[in-house]
């Protein structure tokens, strides 16, 4: 079904407005009707239901790419709504760490969402990975669609932003347990915002290259030193959030780094292999590029072409 770009944008915008409204309603119901204690469990349930709604819209329009902006839109929206709902800026204490976390998350989100909007065509086109899964596994497609394409990324980004959510919850329930901004908080902020800048530069370089060299392997700028510099930025972003969170939280919250670790593993074992298998099948010269350039670490194995 052909969709105009403007109409497709409107459908996705309305989908996410409705998902936000539904998420807020579920969060409220969890507290008032179901009497679920704790902010984070309620956010988790609301996040799950919002994901379910976005999945249903994607099923309706036969396009799982409706979910694509969720990864970058959900974290800042969830955290900002909580900040105002819990009146975290109304106290006497200056929530410095929280401001740094929110600034980093919003910086990352605006950049990544803008990149999605720039590359988005319309709802007549779907991410090639989703189409491949649909064609390879038609019998269990909707299971893969919900649990693999929708819910798994939701879970990973939820756990990745958990350190930030923990700071929010502690500020609300036990602000005295948080320490002030320190060198590790600032270091985490630099890592996260630097990661967003890294993604911005790498994406701009890739877009510029593709306009002039469509179908060829990009080996200019950052792409000369890493095959996936944008993924490097995505990984570093959430390690920075973890560092900011753990720098002010009690030390026994170290396990909150599991989210950043899961995110790292997803890119190493799922995202990169999927992308590179496609590149190898479409661009024979990619094999040579892969031998010479590291995936994430900006280490050029051999500068000789």
Q: Mind listing the pLDDT tens digit for each residue in 58-115?
A: 999 999 999 999 999 999 999 999 999 998 877 656 678 999 999 999 999 999 999 9
H/E element holding 50?
Answer: helix 39-60
φ, ψ (nearest 5 deg) of residue 300: -85, 110
Helical H runs in 182-298?
183-212, 229-248, 258-266, 272-282, 286-292
At residue 108, the 3 state secondary structure works out as helix
Q: Let me know if residue 116 belongs to a domain.
A: yes
Q: Let me know if residue 303 belongs to a domain.
A: no
- Residue 125 zone, left/alpha/beta (φ > 0; ψ -120 to 50; rest): beta
Condensed to tens digits (0 to 9), the pLDDT of residues 129-162 reads 999 999 999 999 999 999 999 999 999 999 999 9
Task: Supply the mean pLDDT for the chain.
Answer: 93
Q: What percent of the chain has pLDDT over 70?
A: 96
Cβ contact 292:302 at 8 Å: yes
At residue 255, the 3 state secondary structure works out as helix
State both tokens at 38.
């704790």
Chain centroid to CA 170: 24
Paired with 300 in beta bridges are 293
φ, ψ (nearest 5 deg) of residue 288: -65, -40
Task: Count the domains in the chain.
Answer: 1
| Cα 199 from Cα 233, distance rounded (Å) | 5
Banded model confidence at residue 305, pLDDT cuts 50, 70, 90: very low
| Cα 131 from Cα 137, distance rounded (Å) | 10
Q: Let me know if residue 305 belongs to a domain.
A: no
Q: Let me know if residue 297 belongs to a domain.
A: no
Condensed to tens digits (0 to 9), the pLDDT of residues 23-45 reads 999 999 998 777 778 999 999 99
| Cα 290 from Cα 150, distance rounded (Å) | 29
Which pTM does this prediction carry? 0.94
> Domain of 268?
5-292
Q: Let me know if residue 73 belongs to a domain.
A: yes
Q: Let me know if residue 203 belongs to a domain.
A: yes
Q: Give the angle 188-45-127 at the CA atoms, nearest 5°.
A: 70
| Cα 305 from Cα 298, distance rounded (Å) | 16
Q: Let me know if residue 298 belongs to a domain.
A: no
Q: Let me know if residue 40 belongs to a domain.
A: yes
């Amino acid at each position: 079904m052909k969709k105009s770009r403007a109409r497709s944008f409107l459908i996705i915008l309305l989908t996410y407005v409705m998902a936000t409204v539904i998420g807020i309603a579920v969060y409220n119901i969890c507290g008032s009707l179901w009497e679920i204690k704790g902010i984070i469990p309620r956010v988790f349930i609301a996040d799950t239901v919002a994901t379910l709604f976005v999945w249903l819209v994607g099923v309706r329009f036969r396009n799982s790419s409706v979910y694509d902006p969720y990864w970058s839109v959900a974290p800042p929206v969830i955290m900002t709504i909580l900040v105002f709902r819990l009146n975290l800026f109304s106290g006497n204490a200056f929530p410095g760490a929280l401001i740094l976390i929110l600034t980093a998350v919003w910086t990352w989100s605006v950049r990544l969402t803008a990149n999605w909007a720039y590359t988005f065509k319309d709802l007549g086109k779907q991410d090639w990975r989703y189409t491949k899964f649909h064609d390879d596994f038609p019998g269990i497609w909707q299971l893969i669609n919900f649990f693999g394409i929708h819910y798994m990324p939701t879970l990973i980004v939820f756990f990745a932003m958990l350190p930030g959510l923990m700071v929010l919850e502690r500020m609300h329930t036990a602000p005295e347990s948080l320490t002030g901004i320190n060198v590790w908080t600032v270091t985490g902020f630099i890592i996260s915002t630097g990661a967003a800048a890294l993604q911005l530069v790498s994406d701009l370089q890739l877009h510029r290259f593709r306009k002039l060299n469509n179908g060829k392997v990009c080996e200019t700028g950052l792409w000369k030193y890493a095959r996936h510099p944008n993924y490097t930025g995505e990984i570093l972003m959430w390690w920075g959030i973890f560092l900011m969170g753990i720098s002010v939280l009690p030390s026994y919250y170290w396990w909150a780094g599991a989210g950043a670790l899961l995110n790292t593993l997803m890119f190493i074992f799922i995202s990169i292999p999927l992308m590179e298998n496609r590149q190898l099948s479409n661009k024979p010269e990619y094999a040579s590029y892969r031998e010479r350039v590291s995936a994430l670490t900006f280490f050029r194995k051999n500068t000789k072409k």
